[in-house]
Amino acid sequence: MPKRLAARVTLLCLGLAPLLAGCGQGAPQQAAPPPPAVTVAKPTQQSVTDFDEYVGRFVSVDMVEIRARVPGYLDKVHFEDGQIVKQGDLLFSIDRRPFETTLAQTKANLTQARANLSFAESDLARGQQLVRDKTITEQTFDQRTQAKRVAEASVAAQEAAVRQAELDLQFTELRAPVAGRIGDRRVSPGNLVTGGTGGNTTLLATIVSIDPIRFEFTFDEASYLRYERLATGGPDAASRGKGVKVLLKLIDEPDFTHEGTVDFVDNVIDRSSGTIRGRAQMPNPKGLFTPGMFARVRVPASIPYDALLVPDVAVGSEQVRKYVMVVGTDNTATQKYVTLGQLVGGLRVVNTGLSPDDSVVVNGLARIRPGIKVAPQPAKPPEAAPQANRN
């Protein structure tokens, strides 16, 4: 072997020696990972009330169809379509001239009837002396008495005719019977309007009251029984829930901000649906609520009670069961199955399965499992809400 090649082999063996020596040693052991950090907090204790939610519609307190009481040609319309009208506002005018003529004629007939009565009374007064003097017969006196009675009846009939004519003349002006929002006119001026009390009268417009307004909803028989038992335990069992405060929200609102009062519960349960109708009255000064509009109503379903609440993100699901993770004194995570209630301001009511002293994992639930050690960190206390100004 040449000397130069032998030198290269020797250098290569010297360079590989440390590597070959290291291959014979065992690999170093990795350190155990630290326990996962989680945030824990005690359950919040608060007085809450259970609520039920229903969908319903707004209905007006008063809805009136404007129809003429007398026939005639429509003369004028005194409103704009869709405007707010007050009770007593003039809406339509029917041509008054035929009714003014009729009134003048009935007044003339009344004047004639009173003149006939005056003559009959004078004739009867003269006949009383004449019959005593035997100047006229009893039959003639009876005829004068009968004539006076006929004249009195004629006066009464003409007075009634005058009153009817005056009413017909008043009915030519159609005024708003209730305050509210009027719809569009159904008849234009110049058209013949059919009036009276029959079924073929002409519909001119409709008015619906808007303030206050009613909200109607239906609830099932089980809920009805629960409400009845709550009302029975109250101070006024005969009220059947009247006066109970309810909250309402429209379809485009996130929260229940409108307050009303239950003023009626129906007296029968519908056989076909098994539900009963309830009604609440709502103030509507701005006219936001419109008859026929949908909304959701929240009705108290229990008396106030003390409950434990946890953040809704602290609740986990295991098929159909709900659970929370709690941390014991030895920093071991434990799973507790719970029964949940309603959501109150981002906190979930826990009806059963939790105690006030439990440290509930409110952040980091996805990083842990039952039985492992964790590094709990207390949650920051919530900031105090600013107090409302009081006058």
User: Are 295 and 322 part of one and the same domain?
Assistant: no
Domain assignment of residue 245, yes or no: yes
User: Are 326 and 281 part of one and the same domain?
Assistant: no
What pLDDT does 148 receive? 87
For residue 2, pLDDT beyond 90:
no
What pLDDT does 140 receive? 80
pLDDT digits (tens, 9 = 90+) for 129-157: 776 767 777 778 778 888 889 899 999 99
User: Are 295 and 323 part of one and the same domain?
Assistant: no
What pLDDT does 98 receive? 93
User: Are 320 and 283 part of one and the same domain?
Assistant: no
User: pLDDT-based confidence at 387, cuts 50/70/90?
Assistant: very low
User: pLDDT-based confidence at 385, cuts 50/70/90?
Assistant: very low
User: Are 286 and 224 part of one and the same domain?
Assistant: yes
What pLDDT does 369 receive? 87
Highest-confidence range of 200-209, 346-355, 381-390, by mean pLDDT?
200-209
Domain extent for 248:
52-61+210-300
Domain assignment of residue 6, yes or no: no
User: Are 221 and 283 part of one and the same domain?
Assistant: yes
Domain assignment of residue 277, yes or no: yes
Domain assignment of residue 125, yes or no: yes
For residue 378, pLDDT beyond 90:
no
**Residues 332-339: what's their mean pLDDT?**
90
pLDDT digits (tens, 9 = 90+) for 54-109: 999 999 999 999 999 999 999 999 999 999 999 999 999 999 999 999 999 999 99
**Residues 356-367: what's their mean pLDDT?**
87
User: pLDDT-based confidence at 14, cuts 50/70/90?
Assistant: low
What pLDDT does 189 receive? 93
Share of the chain above pLDDT 70, in %: 86
User: Are 315 and 291 part of one and the same domain?
Assistant: no
User: Are 217 and 277 part of one and the same domain?
Assistant: yes
User: Are 232 and 216 part of one and the same domain?
Assistant: yes
What pLDDT does 20 receive? 47
CATH code of residue 279? 2.40.30.170
What pLDDT does 367 receive? 84
What pLDDT does 181 receive? 94
CATH code of residue 355? 2.40.420.20
Comparing 167-181, 253-267, 343-357, 369-383, the range with the smallest average pLDDT is 369-383
For residue 390, pLDDT beyond 50:
no
Residue at a domain's end among 280, 300, 320: 300
Residue at a domain's end among 117, 144, 171: 171
Residue at a domain's end among 300, 332, 362: 300
Domain assignment of residue 73, yes or no: no
For residue 175, pLDDT beyond 90:
yes
Please tell me which residue, 7 or 58, carries the higher pLDDT value: 58
Number of domains forming the structure of the chain: 3
User: pLDDT-based confidence at 345, cuts 50/70/90?
Assistant: confident
Domain assignment of residue 195, yes or no: no
Please tell me which residue, 136 or 190, carries the higher pLDDT value: 190
Domain assignment of residue 235, yes or no: yes
Please tell me which residue, 326 or 234, carries the higher pLDDT value: 326
User: Are 266 and 322 part of one and the same domain?
Assistant: no
Domain assignment of residue 276, yes or no: yes
For residue 213, pLDDT beyond 70:
yes
User: pLDDT-based confidence at 386, cuts 50/70/90?
Assistant: very low
User: HEC profile for the chain?
Assistant: CCHHHHHHHHHHHHHHHHHHHHHCCCCCCCCCCCCCEEEEECCEEEEECCEEEEEEEEEECCEEEEECCCCEEEEEECCCCCCEECCCCEEEEECCHHHHHHHHHHHHHHHHHHHHHHHHHHHHHHHHHHHHCCCCCHHHHHHHHHHHHHHHHHHHHHHHHHHHHHHHHHCCEEECCCCEEECCCCCCCCCEECCCCCCCCCEEEEEECCCCEEEEEEEEHHHHHHHHHHHHCCCCHHHCCCCCEEEEEECCCCCCCEEEEEEEECCCCCCCCCEEEEEEEECCCCCCCCCCCEEEEEEECCCCEEEEEEEHHHCEEECCEEEEEEECCCCEEEEEEEEEEEEECCEEEEEECCCCCCCEEEECHHHCCCCCECEEEECCCCCCCCCCCCC
The overall average pLDDT reported for the chain is: 84
What pLDDT does 74 receive? 94
pTM for the structure as a whole = 0.69
CATH code of residue 134? 1.10.287.470
User: Are 266 and 315 part of one and the same domain?
Assistant: no
